[in-house]
Amino acid sequence: MGAEEFQKDLKHMSLDEAGPGDCKGRIDVLSVVNDIAVIKITMEDYLGANYVDLHLLKKEEDGWKILAKAFTAYGK
C-alpha cells in the first residue's frame, strides 16, 4: 500500500469531529509501508493552543488502528 491508497482510507476521518470552533487542521501522511503508516496531525487554535500529533498506525482486518502517538503544544 502506498501513500495515495492510505489517503483514500483517511477520507472518512474529519477534524471537524473535534467540535465547533475556529480550529484549523491538517493531516500529512509521512510514510506508508505495507500495513504500517506514520501521520502528522497539525491543529491550530484548538481550545486556545496549537498542537502537533504524530501517530503510528497499523492496518488490521477492520481498519487502521493507532499503535502509538505523541503530541506537543506550541504557540499561543
Query: Where residue 53 falls among pLDDT bands split at 50, 70, 90?
Result: very high
Beta bridge partners of 50: 74
- Put simply, whether the predicted model's pTM sits higher than 0.85 gets the answer no
Euclidean distance between the first and the last CA atom of the chain, given in angstroms as a whole number? 38
Residue scoring higher pLDDT (67 or 76): 67
**CATH top class, domain 3-74:** alpha beta
> Helix or strand or coil: residue 75?
coil
Place of cell 500500500: 1
* Plot region of 62 (φ>0 → left; ψ -120 to 50 → alpha; else → beta): alpha
For the CA atoms of 15, 18, 21, 25, what is the dihedral angle to 10 degrees? Answer: -30
Domain residue limits, the chain: 3-74
